[in-house]
């Protein structure tokens, strides 16, 4: 997984509950990203951050929130407003606007 | 609501054969392309990339071909091995809708199965 650590690997959410997915990188990359992957679908961008204390919405930001208080960390919170949260969530980082390095993913399921 | 498509294009090859995986991209202004490999339950791994000013690039056992005329990208894997079995997908880089930043757009992928 090359310096990007996602945890936990599996996560279960009860209805009405917020859950937070962790992403840490030690690659000294400025940019970090969160993607959602559904079976048979391409990756869809949730949020991204090009620099500490700044982040931007991606294509499917509704029901999600992020923070970027440290360069190494970019946690994603799946809020109760996200009505269909079951998916595989991938965090990535990049030193440039080119290739992304991905973590090993978190599978989120609803109880 | 969301639709969940379960039908990825698939390619089945025999061990030792060469594999060719294709990708059609959408934006003629895209200037950079990447191929990723994703094994089940894991994150995508970078395989190879190519810029739009090139039409071919080779790596170890892999070659990427870019045809900008028809907006087509292909990944060739030589002497395919069982460990190559995975989903392969391409990504293209273009500008976001506001024109302020690059954006990567990912394809849905092709499932490669290598039979021993």
For residue range A51-74, what is the model confidence (pLDDT) as tens digits?
999 999 999 999 999 999 999 999
Task: Tell me the pLDDT tens digit for each residue of B62-73.
Answer: 999 999 999 999
Nearest to B43 among A42, A99, A102 (CB): A102
- Nearest to B62, CA basis, from B40, B93, B90, B42: B90
Averaged pLDDT of chain A: 94
In this prediction, residue A42 carries a pLDDT of: 87
Q: How far is the C-alpha of A99 from the C-alpha of A103, rounded, in Å?
A: 13
Q: What's the confidence (pLDDT) of residue B7?
A: 66
**Contact between chains at A98 and B45 (C-beta distance less than 8 A):** no
Is residue B92 less than 8 Å (CB to CB) from chain A?
no
Query: How much is the average pLDDT of B16-43?
Result: 94
Alpha carbons within 13 angstroms on the beta-carbon side of residue A52 total: 7
A40:B106 CB<8 A: no
pLDDT: which is higher, A41 or B61: B61
- Sequence-ordered strand ranges (E) for A1-111: 4-7, 10-13, 19-25, 31-37, 44-51, 54-57, 64-66, 76-78, 87-94, 101-102, 106-110
Cα gap A7→A10, rounded to integer Å = 8
**Eight-class DSSP state of B53:** T
User: In degrees rounded to 5, what are phi and psi of residue B84?
Assistant: -85, -10
Q: Which of A49, A28, A42 is nearest to A91 (CA)?
A: A49
Which chain B residues contact residue A101 at CB under 8 A?
46
Res. A111 pLDDT band, cuts 50 70 90: confident
- What is residue B5's predicted lDDT score, i.e. its pLDDT? 42
Q: What is the mean pLDDT of residues B54-80?
A: 96
Average pLDDT over chain B reads 90
- Considering only CB atoms, A41 lies closest to which of B5, B36, B41, namely B5
What's the pLDDT at A79? 95
Does residue A39 surpass a pLDDT of 90?
no
Q: Using CB atoms, which residue from A40, A97, A102 is nearest to B44?
A: A102
Judged against a pLDDT cut of 70, whether residue A23 lies above it is answered with: yes
Question: Do residues A76 and A20 touch, judged by C-beta distance below 8 A?
Answer: yes
Task: Give yes or no for residue A110 having a pLDDT over 80.
Answer: yes
pLDDT band at B103 (very low <50, low <70, confident <90, very high): confident
Is residue A84 predicted with pLDDT exceeding 60? yes
Quick one: CA dihedral B57, B62, B67, B71, positive or negative? Answer: negative
* Chain B partners within 8 Å of A90 (Cβ): 43-44
């Amino acid at each position: 997984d090359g310096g990007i650590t996602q945890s936990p690997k599996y996560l279960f959410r009860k209805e009405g509950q917020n859950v937070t997915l962790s992403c840490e990188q030690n690659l000294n990359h400025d940019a970090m990203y969160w993607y959602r992957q559904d079976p048979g679908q391409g990756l869809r961008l949730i949020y991204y951050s090009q620099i500490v204390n700044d982040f931007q919405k991606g294509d499917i930001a509704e029901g999600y929130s992020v923070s970027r208080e440290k360069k190494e960390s970019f946690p994603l919170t799946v809020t109760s407003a996200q009505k269909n949260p079951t998916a595989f969530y991938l965090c990535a980082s990049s030193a440039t606007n080119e290739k992304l390095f991905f973590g090993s993913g978190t599978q989120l399921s609803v109880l | 609501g969301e639709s969940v498509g379960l039908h990825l294009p698939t390619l089945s090859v025999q061990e030792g054969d060469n594999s060719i995986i294709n990708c059609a991209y959408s934006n003629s202004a895209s200037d950079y392309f990447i191929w990723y490999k994703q094994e089940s339950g894991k994150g995508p791994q970078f395989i190879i990339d190519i810029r739009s000013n090139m039409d071919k690039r080779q790596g170890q056992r892999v070659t990427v071909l870019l045809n900008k005329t028809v907006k087509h990208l292909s990944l060739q894997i030589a002497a395919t091995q069982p460990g190559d079995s995975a989903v392969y997908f391409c990504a293209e880089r273009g500008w976001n809708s506001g024109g302020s930043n690059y954006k990567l757009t990912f394809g849905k992928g092709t499932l490669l199965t290598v039979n021993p």
